[in-house]
Structure 1
């Protein structure tokens, strides 16, 4: 009964069907009919014009998006526990050719305008200090906390005041939309670019970089090629994205994962470290208690010395979620 990560989940059947359907001759790279249709498909989803490039990993999606906004001598403001800081192996510095990450604090791994100002206001406006060029927020955050539309709007307003780009790391964007029960455009707000995650939500090997600024997309095309991410049979990535959007598979998958997480959360009571707003459950438990859970067949990651993280997925079985809930309640 695996609760290690939604990356460990199976590929959704609709994705396999789409891959088979795309297995026919077509133009190489991103000149195929599947890739050509992405802009219109996502523009309808978000209710405004956008340009979409596929990428093979979330790390590449994040870094290629940020590389369009930040020069090598600049910086990205992000939370001190953001994925781009903690879990991407220095990839932002590599893709951005040495640009820096400026780390800010915030409850639940979420940024606020006040936290951003505290991080950037002390920076002098001269060549001796690295200047911020973009803000990156994670929706939902590394602790599964979801930004509300008004919170995103406040950060976007600050970004415009300071002349900064705004990027959203949406590795679990579907889970945020499902929690908010809102239009996707409301969950992304006025961001300039979104890394729209599909792999954690039932995809196989495709993420979408959604640009709401055409000029950024034009730059990203060259950077994607230079970084070695312009796959020659791009139709297989584009087909996965279409399959997930068809009949709202992406949203149904996220709703299922969120519901399973809620069932587990209800059994945790005072053990919960953070409110459960997506598909991650952070639970206080000792090493001995974790041993008890693993002996019952549950797979999960330790989260420091006295905690564990449980992640549900689109195909988490109801019986498994119920069993974990009972096991935690009985500790």
Structure 2
């Protein structure tokens, strides 16, 4: 029997049928290239409206990594410092891309499952000499975090406002921001606070490809269009990226899909605990981190691909998506039961 990738990652999920339909509708006749088309304009307007950011610029990238690199690189000079958590995707899983493209230093701060305390931010910023150290310029946080935690609306507001008080810009890596919004049932803007720039995930939430960059304060990112072009993420056939986002944002499809993924993860987490397994992190969005003994992982891996984030820890990650079914959740639990 083939091994299923159903829980390997939300990247493994198929594109949503509504997204495929949108691509087909967009595939009619010639339109201006490089984003100078009506579909791109409509998608940008939908993103601005969703995040209550009427003055924001909107750009796209094929991947989340590229979206993060574009956002961060356009904010800094080589003498600057980018602050992040100790488990940040930009630190661990982007092959040094932000550093290579920006020339800036990437410095991690201790966190609780990716949630950085204000005191850690204060300590790092206050320890920098004006000449002898790289100068903190921007802090990037992930919503929801790499360990599946959600920054609550009050906590992220306090953090972002405090970072601004320290003279820092704030970037939110929102690869799974829809899951954070759905988990809290808040307005999207409340899930990112007063962030200066936000990458809005699409690939993990039903798109075939593509993530968006919401530039809420364009004056702080003056060269962002050039960075996007230099690294090859200014799509010539722009309408095909934009059309997917337009479909995703229509009728709250992005939040309905994320809410379903969260619900499946919650059911999976409860089921695993019911079987006596210990969760390594609370299930707050669509990721489940569970401690499995060698016998359990041997049984599970015969049917499902799962990811071990740290090979020194017996913790395994199972990710639910818009396409995860209750039958798949039940089968995992039966396999481990």
What's the TM-score, normalizing by structure 2? 0.93
Q: Name 1:283's counterpart in structure 2.
A: 290
Partner SS state of residue 243, structure 2: helix
2:327 maps to 1:319? yes
2:59 match: secondary structure: strand
Gaps of 5+ in 1: none
Asked whether the 8 Å contact 1:9–1:313 carries over to 2, the reply is yes
Offset from partner CA, 1:305-324 (integer Å, 9 cap, x none) = 41211011110111011221
Q: Over residues 230-265 of structure 1, what are the superposed CA-to-partner deviations in whole Å (9 max), with x where a residue is unaligned? A: 111111111111010111111111011111101110
Q: Does 1:130 align with 2:137?
A: no
Correspondence 1:45 to 2:46:
no
Change in 2 beyond 3 A, CA 1:326/1:117: farther
Matches within 5 A, 1:224-239: 224-239=228-243
Q: Counterpart in 2 of 1:113? A: 118
Aligned to 2:67: 61
Report SS of the residue matched to 1:209: strand
SS at match of 1:301: coil
The answer as to 2:84 corresponding to 1:78 is yes
> What is the rounded CA distance, in whole Å, between the counterparts of 1:215 and 1:38 in structure 2?
22
Q: Find the aligned partners of 1:299 and 1:93 in 2 and give their Cα distance.
A: 31
Q: Distance in 2 between matches of 1:263 and 1:48?
A: 34
Residue 217 of structure 1, CA deviation: 5.5
Provide closer, same or farther for how the CA distance between residues 288 and 119 of structure 1 changes in structure 2, counting only shifts above 3 A.
Answer: farther
**Alignment map for 1:179-190 (pairs within 5 Å):** 179-190=183-194
The whole-number CA distance in structure 2 between the counterparts of 1:177 and 1:299 is 27
- Asked if the contact 2:121/2:163 (under 8 Å) is kept, the reply is no
Q: For structure 2, which runs of at least 5 residues remain unmatched after alignment?
A: none
Secondary structure (helix, strand or coil) at the match of 1:208 reads strand
CA contact (8 A) 1:265 1:325 kept: no
Structure 1 ranges of 4+ moved more than 3 A: none
SS in 2 for 1:283: strand
C-alpha distance in structure 1 between counterparts of 2:308 and 2:294, whole Å: 9
**Which residue does 2:195 correspond to in 1?**
191
CA distance in structure 1 between the partners assigned to 2:86 and 2:124 by the alignment: 11
Instruction: Give the Cα–Cα distance (whole angstroms) in 1 for the partners of residues 61 and 12 of structure 2.
Output: 19
Asked whether the 8 Å contact 2:59–2:212 carries over to 1, the reply is: yes
Q: Offset of 1:326 from its aligned partner?
A: 3.5
* Count of matched residue positions in the alignment of Structure 1 and Structure 2: 326
Alpha-carbon offset, residue 122 of structure 1? 1.8
Matched, 1:272 2:279: yes
Quick check: 1:18 aligned with 2:25? Answer: no
Q: Distance in 2 between matches of 1:81 and 1:43?
A: 29
Structure 1 residue aligned with 2:179: 175
Please report how far the alpha carbon of residue 211 of structure 1 lies from its aligned counterpart in structure 2 after TM superposition.
1.1
Judge conservation of contact 1:194–1:211 (CA < 8 Å) in 2: yes
> 2-side partners of 1:40 and 1:306: how far apart?
45
Secondary structure of 2:141 counterpart:
strand
Q: CA deviation at 1:216?
A: 4.1
Distance in 2, matches of 1:324 and 1:63, equals 36
Listed one character per residue, the Cα deviations across residues 27-66 of structure 1 (whole Å, up to 9, x for unaligned) are 0111111112233212221223122111111011111111
Shift of 1:128: 1.8
The RMSD of aligned alpha carbons is 1.4
Partner residue in 1 for 2:38:
33
Given that 2:43 and 2:243 are in contact with CA atoms closer than 8 Å, whether structure 1 keeps it comes out as: no
SS, match of residue 71 in structure 1: coil
